[in-house]
């Protein structure tokens, strides 16, 4: 994992795949004041991209 000091100050020390999974989860939540949500029948983001977490991390690290 990249240390926060290597890329600047980070709120959470997450890899990009972990961030995308949390973003996907957050987008699926229902709240009264929220204007929309990711439909439940839509596959999780890494599955839609046909990437495993390991492949995604390798791709990003070797970009």
pLDDT digits (tens, 9 = 90+) for 3-27: 544 555 556 678 878 888 888 888 8
Nearest-angstrom CA–CA distance, 48 and 46: 5
pLDDT attached to residue 21: 87
pLDDT attached to residue 32: 83
pLDDT attached to residue 4: 46
The per-residue pLDDT for range 21-63, each reduced to its tens digit, is 888 888 888 888 878 888 888 888 888 878 787 877 787 788 7
Backbone angles phi, psi at 46, to 5 degrees: -70, -30
pLDDT attached to residue 44: 85
Specify whether the CB–CB gap between 20 and 52 falls below 8 A.
no
DSSP per position, 2-62: --HHHHS--SS---HHHHHHHHHHHHT---TT------TTSPPHHHHTT--HHHHHHHHHT
């Amino acid at each position: 994992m990249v240390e926060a000091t290597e890329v600047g100050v980070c709120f959470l020390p997450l890899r990009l795949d972990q961030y995308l999974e949390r973003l996907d989860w957050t987008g699926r939540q229902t709240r009264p004041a929220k204007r929309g949500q990711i439909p439940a029948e839509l596959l999780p983001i890494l599955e839609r991209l046909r990437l495993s977490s390991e492949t995604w991390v390798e791709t990003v690290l070797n970009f």
